[in-house]
Amino acid sequence: MAFAKKYRNKQVIATEQTVLPSSAVQEFSGVFPSYFRPDGKFASRNIFLSVNASAVTGTNLDIALYGSDTESGAVKHLLLDAVVADITATGWVDAIVDLNAYPSAYYFLAWTADVDEDANTIDVKLSAPQDF
């Protein structure tokens, strides 16, 4: 999957919808668009992260932030566990992540389910000020 980019109310927004994983399998989002990167010129580089599952069959979904040195993400490393933890129902859940605190060349989200969730989807929305 790939993130779709748009601008609204002086915000840059990237969205993606992905099928959730089968039982106890970790799956990853597409690579974050290039405009969501750390920048040492600023004290913080906050992005707003929102996720919404179409349904949750099991007990919960856990969302983590991963980084990689390559755009393909062939080798990923955990940057922040439980960015959004224990999603148990539908509805948007939000978090703020300071990318300067977790520097990486490329970013991905990972979700882990405790049962087969591949009949369901997850929507991801990343946003930041347009002059970010």
Q: Which residues contact 68 (CB under 8 A, 6 or more apart)?
A: 31, 74, 75, 76, 77, 104, 105, 106, 107, 108
The CATH code of the domain that includes 28 is: 2.60.120.260
* Mean pLDDT (whole number) for 39-57: 90
Q: Which residue range(s) make up the domain with 76?
A: 4-37+45-129
pLDDT reported for residue 126: 94
Q: What is the mean pLDDT of the chain?
A: 88
Which residue do the tokens 């389910």 mark? 113
Number of domains composing the chain? 1
pLDDT in tens, 27-37: 999 999 988 98
Q: Is the pLDDT of residue 132 over 60?
A: no
Q: Is the pLDDT of residue 6 over 80?
A: no
